[in-house]
Structures are given as structure tokens and as C-alpha cells.
């Protein structure tokens, strides 16, 4: 059923103007990949086709992002996020345009050059844009954990890069500026990929997940291409430019598909309640800190056993210590959140939703404890069972909404006449029950009289309601059910006699 809904949704997107454009560009990327593998491939033609395509695709992403940014029906943070992503894509478009001009017309290697500055500008724009996504898609309580998850994932990727790449390259930034630029590209890709991973593991609506999926896919493809490009520039491998161009086209195409999904998502879809996460997302969220610690310690052990020393070993060591600190802080916030959720659930389980008093479940929990305390310390204990007289007639006359308002007012009146040590709960319907610690029958009857007098002073739609009260006093050997039964019998005896619950 879910697959059918996704297919149906995809078909509806394809019928929109942005869907048609995204489909045509996707077919173009596939056609380019097939062409470079065929016998009809020509290098001179590729300079024109690849250069134009790598410039046009970020231009389309920029246009789509600006279209989202100026849609007033989307929330502000979402629009601002796409505005920053469109600015980053515009920078990427300028960089690719400069590279195209230098390769095709000046016949020179564009790396290093001014294009690298524009290319690198894409990463901070896109990264901050994704952070703004989090403010629109994730609740305020969850953002602290989200940002720590992001820091943990980024630190994990950094440790992998340091151990496998950076620590193995002996170059100086001042002496090899080209090496510096090409190394920054895969780092930037992984930085944005970290943000999408941190966001994707939350409870998100389906359109948001598809948007993040395409962003993540684009960053994975870009990281592969940029990593191969870095190795090629540093002389470690020899890879042909058309294959890299194909990867870069697919990366921009994925960003275009993400923007297409965002544009096609209407306001109602974006305001839907996020569905429950699948087990995979819960597993990823729970396992993330443990995987991070295992990664850090594993790389540290590998560095030590491999005989690393100096900068290579110290970098891994410091990163592992930071990883443990981040995970401990993250788990502390998770613990705080779990305690808050437990208290909220407990309060909901014990509270009557209408009156705000305790409910019958809480009363059943607390009465045996009070009886044990009374028996242990030889103290008095009484309970009052109250039934609002005439409430059924009032409810039938004025309706359930007015009846609910009356019950709220009655509950406040009852609670105002009690001591701080007393416990009042809604027993069900128009019945309430009160536990009176250290109260004998005389004191219990006095409190009952005070409650009746206070309720008589309130008039509801010209009607004055009364309350019948049943009293029972705890004696050793009584069970909670027997104590309640005595109060119930006393209540209905006085109702039948139409007499007060005291003599």
C-alpha cells in the first residue's frame, strides 16, 4: 500500500512543469552516461556538452530553490533554507561556468583558480540551509539532540578522512594550493551528508524524507566524484574527466529532484503529523552513539597497531576523546528527554482529562498506600464519596458541553475546601472521591458539610446544584474495596433519605 502511494505521488509530480523539467534533465544525464561509454564519444564535443550541462543543472537548482523561497505558504525557516541552498547552487553554477570557459576556450587547467572559491562557497550555504530545515521539521525539544547527532556524524567522517586520507598526504598548503582545494571538496560533501543523515533519522513527514533522500544521494555521488578527483589531482590515480563529469551531473540532478519534491509538496502535506518512524530509523537513532564510539576506538586501535606516530596518531586520539565527550553529552540529553516524557506520560495516566484532578487509576494506586500508612502509624483515615445532585437533569437540559463546564467548576469548588494533605480524584461521571489522612468521622463530616455549603453558593444557568456525600472510616482489617463499599452504601442511604451525611 505504501509503495502504491509513493508511485502515485511520483506520477503526480511528473505531470507538473517542474516534474517534466526534472525528468528531461534526468534523461539527459542517463543519455550522457551512455554516450561516454559508446564508440561515438568525442573529447572535443564532450568539453561543450559537459561544460554546458554542469552549468545548466545548478542554474535549474537555483531557479527551483528561489521558487520555493518565495512561496508564502511554506514556513519561514523552510523558505530561508532553500534560499541559502539556491545561493550555494548559484555559486556552483559560477564555478562550473568559469571551469567550462577555461577548459573549452582557454584550453587550460582551471585548478587552482577563482572557480575554486565559488565551488567551496556552495558547502557553507547548503550546510546552513539544512540547519534551517531542522528548525522547520524538528521540534524544539529534539533540536539539541539533533545537533549533537550532527556533530557526532561529522566528527566520525572527519576521523575517517584523517586516518585514510589527510594524515597520509604530506603536503603544505602554501606550497600546494591545488591540493588544498581538491581536498576541501569531499570534506564539504561529507559535511552536508552528515546534516542530512542527522535530519533523516528523526520523525519526519514523507515529503521531507524524500527531499532529504535526494540531497543525501547527491552528496554521496558528489563525495565519490570529488574523492576520485582529489586522488587524480594528487597523482594517486588516473581517471578520465567524462566519468567524473557524469558523477557531478548526477549529483546536481539529485539536488534538482529534491527541489522538485519540495515544490510539489503542498502545504497540507507539510503540516501533516509526522508518522511513527520505522524500526530502521529507531535503530539508527539508538545505535548512533555506540557506533560512533566503536568507530573512534577502532580507528585509534588501528592507528596504534599500525605504528602511526606524531600528527597522524595525535589527530585520531584527540578526535576519539571529543567523540566520547559528545556521546556522553548526547546521552545525558536523551536521558533528560526520556525523564520528561516519562513524567508527561505518568501525568496523563494519573490525571482526569476534563477536570484536571486525579483519576480513578491514581486513586486505586494511592488508597492502599494511605491505608498501610494509617495502619502502621495507628492514624485516622477517612474517605468521602461525592455525587453531584441534579447533574443528569442539568446535562440533559443544557447539553454535554455545558455539563463539562459545570464539572470543571464543581471540581474547583471541591478542591478549594480541602487541606494540602487531602487527595481528590474524579471517580467517574459526576462522582468524586476524596482521601482524608488523619481525619476521623467527625472531621470528615465537617469537611463534607463545608463542601456542600461552598457548592450551594454557585449558580449554573440559574440552577443551584447540591452534592450528596458518603463517609467511611478506615479500620484495621478492611480492604480498599470494603472501604469504598461502605462509602458507597452511606452515600446512597443518604440520597434515598434525602438527609445530609452527618447527624
Q: Which residues are part of the catalytic machinery? A: 430
Q: How far apart are CA 247 and CA 439, in angstroms?
A: 81
Residue 263 neighbours by CB under 8 Å, 6+ apart: 16, 18, 64, 67, 68, 71
Helices (H) and strands (E) in the chain, counts: 17, 6
Our CA angle for 471, 477, 481, nearest 5°, is 55
Q: How far apart are CA 276 and CA 420, in angstroms?
A: 41
Q: Are 467 and 452 in contact (CB under 8 A)?
A: yes
Count CB-CB contacts under 10 A for residue 142. 16
Instruction: List Cα–Cα distances, 135 to 81, 350, 387, in angstroms.
Output: 10, 33, 49
| Helix/strand/coil for 116 | helix
Sign of the four-CA dihedral 248, 251, 257, 260: negative
Count CB-CB contacts under 10 A for residue 315. 19
DSSP state of 480: H
Q: What are phi and psi of 110, to 5 degrees?
A: -80, -5
Count CB-CB contacts under 10 A for residue 285. 17
Q: Are 424 and 376 in contact (CB under 8 A)?
A: no
H or E element, residue 67: helix 43-69
Radius of gyration (C-alpha) of the chain in whole angstroms:
35
Q: How far apart are CA 285 and CA 378, in angstroms?
A: 52
Q: What is the distance in angstroms between the CA of the first residue and the CA of the last residue of the chain?
A: 69
Q: How far apart are CA 376 and CA 373, in angstroms?
A: 5
Q: What does the block give as the cell for 35? A: 554516450
Calculated CA dihedral for residues 242, 247, 249, 255, nearest 10 degrees? -170
* Side-by-side strand order, sheet with 431-437: 423-428, 431-437, 381-389, 466-473
Amino acid at each position: 500500500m505504501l509503495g502504491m502511494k509513493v508511485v502515485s505521488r511520483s506520477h503526480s509530480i511528473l505531470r507538473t512543469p517542474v516534474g517534466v523539467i526534472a525528468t528531461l534533465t534526468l534523461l539527459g544525464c542517463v543519455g550522457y552516461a551512455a554516450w561516454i561509454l559508446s564508440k561515438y564519444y568525442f573529447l572535443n564535443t564532450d568539453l561543450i556538452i559537459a561544460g554546458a550541462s554542469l552549468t545548466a543543472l545548478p542554474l535549474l537548482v537555483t531557479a527551483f530553490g528561489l521558487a520555493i523561497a518565495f512561496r508564502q505558504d511554506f514556513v519561514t525557516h523552510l523558505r530561508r533554507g532553500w534560499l541559502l541552498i539556491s545561493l550555494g547552487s548559484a555559486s556552483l553554477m559560477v564555478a562550473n561556468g568559469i571551469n567550462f570557459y577555461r577548459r573549452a576556450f582557454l584550453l587550460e587547467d582551471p585548478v587552482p583558480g577563482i572557480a575554486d572559491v565559488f565551488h567551496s562557497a556552495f558547502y557553507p550555504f547548503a550546510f546552513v540551509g539544512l540547519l534551517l530545515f531542522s528548525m522547520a521539521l524538528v521540534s524544539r525539544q529534539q533540536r539539541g539532540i539533533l545537533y549533537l547527532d550532527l556533530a557526532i556524524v561529522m566528527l566520525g567522517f572527519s576521523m575517517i578522512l584523517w586516518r585514510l586520507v589527510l594524515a597520509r598526504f604530506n603536503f603544505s598548503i602554501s606550497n600546494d594550493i591545488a591540493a588544498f582545494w581538491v581536498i576541501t571538496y569531499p570534506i564539504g560533501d561529507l559535511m552536508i551528508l552528515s546534516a542530512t543523515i542527522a535530519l533523516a533519522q528523526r520523525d519526519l513527514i514523507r515529503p521531507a524524507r524524500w527531499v532529504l533522500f535526494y540531497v543525501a544521494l547527491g552528496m554521496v555521488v558528489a563525495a565519490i566524484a570529488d574523492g576520485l578527483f582529489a586522488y587524480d589531482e594528487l597523482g594517486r590515480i588516473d581517471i578520465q574527466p567524462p566519468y567524473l563529469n557524469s558523477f557531478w551531473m548526477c549529483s546536481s540532478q539529485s539536488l534538482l529532484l529534491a527541489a522538485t519534491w519540495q515544490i510539489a509538496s503542498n502545504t497540507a502535506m507539510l503540516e501533516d503529523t509526522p508518522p511513527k518512524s520505522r524500526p530502521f530509523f529507531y535503530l539508527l537513532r539508538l545505535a548512533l552513539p555506540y557506533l560512533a564510539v566503536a568507530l573512534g576506538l577502532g580507528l585509534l586501535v588501528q592507528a596504534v597497531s599500525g605504528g602511526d606516530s606524531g600528527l597522524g596518531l595525535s589527530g585520531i586520539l584527540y578526535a576519539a576523546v571529543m567523540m566520547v565527550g559528545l556521546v556522553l553529552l548526547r546521552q545525558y540529553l536523551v536521558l533528560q528527554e526520556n525523564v520528561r516524557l516519562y513524567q508527561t506520560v505518568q501525568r496523563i495516566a494519573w490525571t482526569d482529562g476534563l477536570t484536571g484532578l486525579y483519576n480513578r487509576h491514581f486513586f486505586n494506586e494511592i488508597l492502599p498506600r494511605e491505608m498501610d500508612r494509617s495502619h502502621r502509624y495507628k492514624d485516622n483515615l477517612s474517605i468521602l464519596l461525592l455525587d453531584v445532585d441534579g447533574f443528569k437533569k442539568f446535562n440533559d437540559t443544557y447539553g454535554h458541553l455545558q455539563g463539562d463546564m459545570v464539572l470543571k467548576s464543581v471540581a474547583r469548588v471541591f478542591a478549594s475546601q480541602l487541606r494540602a494533605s487531602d487527595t481528590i480524584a474524579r471517580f467517574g461521571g459526576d462522582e468524586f472521591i476524596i482521601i482524608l489522612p488523619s481525619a476521623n468521622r467527625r472531621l470528615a463530616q465537617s469537611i463534607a458539610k463545608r463542601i456542600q455549603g461552598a457548592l450551594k453558593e454557585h449558580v449554573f444557568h440559574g440552577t443551584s446544584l447540591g452534592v450528596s456525600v458518603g463517609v467511611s472510616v478506615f479500620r484495621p482489617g478492611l480492604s480498599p474495596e470494603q472501604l469504598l463499599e461502605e462509602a458507597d452504601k452511606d452515600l446512597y442511604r443518604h440520597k434515598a433519605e434525602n438527609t445530609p451525611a452527618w447527624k
